[in-house]
Amino acid sequence: MLKLLPVLFCCSALAAPAFEAQIIFPLQEKHVHSSCIVECSNGDLLTCWFHGSGERSKPDVVIQGARLRAGSDTWSDVFPMADTPDLPDCNPVMFIDKKGELWLFWIAVPAEKWEDCLLRYRKATDYLNDGPPNWYWQDVIILKPGEKFKTAIEQGFRQLNLPELDYGNYSVEPQEPIIEAAKDMSKRQRGWMTRTHLVVLPSGRILLPLYSDGFYVGLMAISDDEGETWRASSPIPGVGLNQPSVVRKKDGTLVAYMRDEGPAPKRVQVSTSTDDGETWAVAWESDIPNPDSSLEVVVLDDGRWVMAYNDTEEGRHSLALAMSEDEGATWAWKRHLEQKPGGSFSYPSIIQARDGLIHVTYSYEPTRGQGRSIKHVSLNSEWIMQGD
């Protein structure tokens, strides 16, 4: 267990900028990646990530977690969260519903292929004690994207009118193989992967953002019955887009921000939905740099948006927070969490707690090959506004 690093406070005309940072466990040699953080009803913070010898090809990869008690400055010892025997487990995402139940979504990866992965989940009501949650239910979610999936993929690619490019793992040539794969019911129902937080709409609808490395598109798993059943939205068509993070504008428009797996220039890709996530516009490139790395956006209580992202096209050595006061039209403030050539800092998970503080966890490797951990930082918006 590790103590917090020194807290930095500075004076400003507003509240004092505040920042705290620590790694959740000592640097170690195995791969630790793709964390998620949530706040529990008692004010505790719970985080999880995957840990093992690699990723999709290593059966020892499991989901681990740790807890930071409200008022404490020390994270708990690491504990297990999920393990599918003899298969890698990756990309965990947690969600606490309106009844206070904890959900853990993640993927198990058969055949060492992302496009074959299984979308799993488990639930717990008893999770506030020390150690791992006491899970009382688990299952697999199998989505059934129908004919609208095929139609949206074909129409989207035709609208883009792009040159011959590699669009995903189902494509060894340009867009035609992806269009053909979209007609295959088996391929449509497999390979949907988690990464970012769920979104609850004012209607009570729950959206679980998903993506596919087979199709390189995103979609939403939609539940209108508090998670009892799930169905697929239409896909988010585009080129090499992945891992959507969804926020909602005041007028009800949903905005999905995605990493860029496509050709240069590398930019954050954006799509919108005006029907509560049922259908999505063809994704377009923003002017925000992206080095083919995951990002996440959160809406603060005061209506401002904060994006956690790698802010360069060249790699994951630079990780920043940007803040917008006009719902993503512009990002007026930016401050770096990490900037170190030779390091790797990526896959941020971001929330705002009930006390107003912003919490971020991310994969942390200060020097390539010299140990990895998950890092946790807490800060206020004034710290971002102060800049570097």
Q: How many domains are there within the chain?
A: 2
Q: Does pLDDT of 78 surpass 90?
A: yes
Q: What is the CATH number of the domain that holds 220?
A: 2.40.128
Residue where the block lists tokens 């959740």: 24
Amino acid at 150: K
Do the Cβ atoms of 269 and 283 come closer than 8 Å?
Answer: yes
Let me know whether 58 and 28 are in one domain: yes
Let me know whether 349 and 215 are in one domain: no
Let me know whether 346 and 368 are in one domain: yes
Sign of the alpha-carbon dihedral angle for 205, 206, 212, 216:
positive
For every residue of 3-16, DSSP letters joined together read PPPPPEE---SSSP
The verdict on residue 289 lying in a domain is: yes
Q: What is the CATH number of the domain that holds 56?
A: 2.120.10.10
The verdict on residue 149 lying in a domain is: yes
Let me know whether 275 and 312 are in one domain: no
Let me know whether 202 and 172 are in one domain: yes
Do the Cβ atoms of 74 and 176 come closer than 8 Å?
Answer: no
* Least confident among 10-24, 41-55, 272-286: 10-24
Mean pLDDT of 265-273: 96
Chosen domain end from 233, 267, 293: 293
Note the pLDDT of residue 254.
98
**Could you give the CA distance from residue 38 to residue 169 in angstroms, rounded to a whole number?**
32
For the purposes of burial, counting CB atoms within 10 Å of the CB of 113, is it exposed (0-12), middle (13-18) or buried (19 or more)? middle
Long-range CB contacts for residues 4-12, cutoff 8 Å, separation at least 24: 4/73, 4/74, 10/386, 12/382, 12/385, 12/386
Let me know whether 251 and 151 are in one domain: yes
Let me know whether 149 and 123 are in one domain: no
The verdict on residue 154 lying in a domain is: yes
The verdict on residue 257 lying in a domain is: yes
Alpha-carbon distance values, 175 to 140, 190, 193, 387 (Å): 30, 19, 21, 42
Let me know whether 289 and 313 are in one domain: no
Alpha-carbon distance values, 321 to 75, 98, 161 (Å): 23, 28, 34
The verdict on residue 139 lying in a domain is: no
143-187 pLDDT per residue, tens: 999 999 999 998 888 887 665 554 566 654 455 788 888 999 999
Note the pLDDT of residue 10.
39
Let me know whether 42 and 151 are in one domain: no
Return left, alpha or beta for 152; rule: phi > 0 is left, psi -120 to 50 is alpha, else beta.
alpha
Q: In 10 A of CB 169, how many CB atoms?
A: 17
Chosen domain end from 293, 325, 357: 293
What integer best gives the mean pLDDT of the chain?
Answer: 93
Residue 361: domain span:
1-130+303-388
* Least confident among 116-120, 234-238, 376-380: 234-238
The verdict on residue 264 lying in a domain is: yes
**Could you give the CA distance from residue 149 to residue 188 in angstroms, rounded to a whole number?**
8
Residue 4 — very low, low, confident or very high, per pLDDT cuts 50/70/90?
Answer: very low
- For residue 186, the surrounding DSSP H or E stretch is helix 185-189
Residue 229 — very low, low, confident or very high, per pLDDT cuts 50/70/90?
Answer: very high
Residue 2 — very low, low, confident or very high, per pLDDT cuts 50/70/90?
Answer: very low
Let me know whether 33 and 104 are in one domain: yes
**Could you give the CA distance from residue 312 to residue 367 in angstroms, rounded to a whole number?**
18
The verdict on residue 298 lying in a domain is: no
Let me know whether 282 and 150 are in one domain: yes
- pLDDT > 70 fraction of the chain, expressed in percent and rounded: 93
Let me know whether 121 and 149 are in one domain: no
Q: What length does the chain have?
A: 388
For every residue of 130-169, DSSP letters joined together read SSS-B--EEEEE-----HHHHHHHHHHHHHHT--S---ST
The verdict on residue 135 lying in a domain is: no
Beta partners for residue 285, in sequence order: 269
Note the pLDDT of residue 262.
82
**Could you give the CA distance from residue 42 to residue 345 in angstroms, rounded to a whole number?**
30
